[in-house]
């Protein structure tokens, strides 16, 4: 079963074609690399999959169904430009984002605490995002991406700004999520990161 399928997807901005006749399938339980230089159209494609924008041509399907307004709740998206609210506290921020994805307050708190314990950051609950380092913010953003147990996880340059220890921590969790059946669409322009993920996946 393919979690995600694209058929001849096209996206144009004025006179520029950012995505040109792209087709591929992402089966369940794999890490799928979306590799290309900056400006190749990776982020434009991700924005179509997450319904931030619409394709000009072609079709996107989730679990065999045409992409619709309900599908974003099945997706976890970590954008390259992180989207956390700087003045909110970590716990408040994660509770808000988890409930936007359909979790009840009780389930959201339980899942967030589990992830914070896993990352050894339980003391951050009342810290403001703006008081965290970039690497610390990355951990919070990753939790926000996966807290609702999405079946398709889209990671756009997830290791940007991370030190080697935290990079390895995130890599391990990506592998764990894959082993639990999630499909990970990993977007990067750095071939060595693709090779590292390939190594841990096989």
Report the CATH number that the domain containing residue 135 is assigned in CATH. 3.40.50.300
**pLDDT tens for residues 62-119?**
999 999 999 988 999 998 777 789 999 999 999 999 999 999 999 999 999 999 999 9
Continuous H helices in the chain: 42-49, 90-100, 105-118, 134-146, 164-179, 191-201
Phi-psi region of 22 (alpha: psi -120 to 50; beta: other; left: phi over 0): beta
With 70 as the cut, is the pLDDT of residue 129 above it? Answer: yes
Give CA–CA dist 19/57, Å, rounded. 10
Domain that includes residue 146, residue range: 2-201
Alpha carbon distance 74, 59 (integer Å)? 18
pLDDT tens-place string over residues 133-189: 888 888 999 999 999 999 999 998 888 777 888 888 888 999 999 999 999 998 886
The number of folded domains in the chain is 1
């Amino acid at each position: 079963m393919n979690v995600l399928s694209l058929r001849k997807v096209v996206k144009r901005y004025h006179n520029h074609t950012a995505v040109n006749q792209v087709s591929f399938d992402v089966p369940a339980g794999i890490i799928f690399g979306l590799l290309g230089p900056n400006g190749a159209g990776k982020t434009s494609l991700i924005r179509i999959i997450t319904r931030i924008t619409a394709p000009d041509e072609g079709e996107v399907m989730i679990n065999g169904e045409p992409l619709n307004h309900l599908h974003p709740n099945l997706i976890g998206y970590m954008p390259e430009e992180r989207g956390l609210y700087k003045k909110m506290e970590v716990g408040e921020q994660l509770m808000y984002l988890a409930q936007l994805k359909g979790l009840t307050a009780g389930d959201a708190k339980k899942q967030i605490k589990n992830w914070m314990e896993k990352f050894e950051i339980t003391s951050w609950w009342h810290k403001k995002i703006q008081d965290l380092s970039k690497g610390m913010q990355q951990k919070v953003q990753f939790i926000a991406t996966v807290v609702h147990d999405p079946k398709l996880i889209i990671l756009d340059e997830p290791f940007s700004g991370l030190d080697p220890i935290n990079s390895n921590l995130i890599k391990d969790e990506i592998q764990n999520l894959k082993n639990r059946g999630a499909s990970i669409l990993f977007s990067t322009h750095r071939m060595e990161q693709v090779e590292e993920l390939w190594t841990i996946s096989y």
